[in-house]
Amino acid sequence: MRSGDAIVGLPVMDLATGNQVGVVKKLVFNRSQDRLLGIVIDEGGWFRDARVIPFEAVRQLGENAVILTDAGAILAVEEQSRLKTFIAENSSIKGMRVITESGKEIGVVDEIMFDPAAGTVEAFRISGGLLQDLVEGKGVLPVPPGITAGPDTIIIPDAALVTLAHGVAGEQT
């Protein structure tokens, strides 16, 4: 598993030329399918579109760089309608509230852990707030089947609480 935070800031390299073609600015996830859809390397501005790489064009999410098979896969968001929708909706999982079906607040998604080969979201690192994080450590919640992802809240089955593992108290995870 890789942390989404570990990918942001990495250089993006073109395998064909050896040139750096950008830097990872953010990851775009499909919340309903728990999948990485693409990588934003330029968030755009007044007179230019954001530039994005579809996940399928990524050869490797390496430890120190993201490797593309072909820099031609980098597209303006306007050319990539599937990703445009998710970027416009700001489809970030990080920062979403997590509650159970019975209404118990678990915390906030602090980090996303995913399989770098498949692009599937495998787990969420959950922050229960500063005090709880210091006392119990942040929790790691494997993505359970049957979650519901709304615009700002993830609802998990009550039974998923047994899979929530907390880190060491005071640990910076």
- Please say which residue of 27, 61, 88 terminates a domain: 88
Give the CA distances from residue 146 to residues 8, 61, 156, in Å, rounded to whole numbers and listed in that order: 28, 28, 7
Both 29 and 107 in one domain: the answer is: no
From CA 26, how far away is CA 161, in angstroms rounded?
A: 29
> Is residue 172 one of the residues assigned to a domain?
no
Both 104 and 122 in one domain: the answer is: yes
> Is residue 138 one of the residues assigned to a domain?
yes
Q: What is the pTM of this model?
A: 0.75
Q: Where are the alpha helices (DSSP H) in 40-129?
A: 81-88
Both 56 and 119 in one domain: the answer is: no
Cβ-based neighbours of 35, under 8 Å, separated by 6 or more? 29, 55, 119, 120, 121
Q: What is the CATH number of the domain that holds 39?
A: 2.30.30.240
> Is residue 7 one of the residues assigned to a domain?
yes
- The total of structural domains in the chain comes to 2
pLDDT tens for each residue of the chain, 173 residues long:
888 888 999 999 999 999 999 999 988 887 677 788 888 888 776 766 778 888 888 999 989 999 998 888 887 766 666 665 656 555 567 888 999 999 999 899 988 888 988 888 888 888 877 777 677 767 888 888 888 888 889 899 988 888 877 654 444 44
Both 19 and 73 in one domain: the answer is: yes
Which residues form the domain of 14? 2-88
pLDDT of residue 83: 61
From CA 37, how far away is CA 34, in angstroms rounded?
A: 9
- Please say which residue of 88, 116, 145 terminates a domain: 88
> Is residue 37 one of the residues assigned to a domain?
yes
pLDDT digits (tens, 9 = 90+) for 72-109: 888 776 666 666 565 655 556 788 899 999 999 989 99
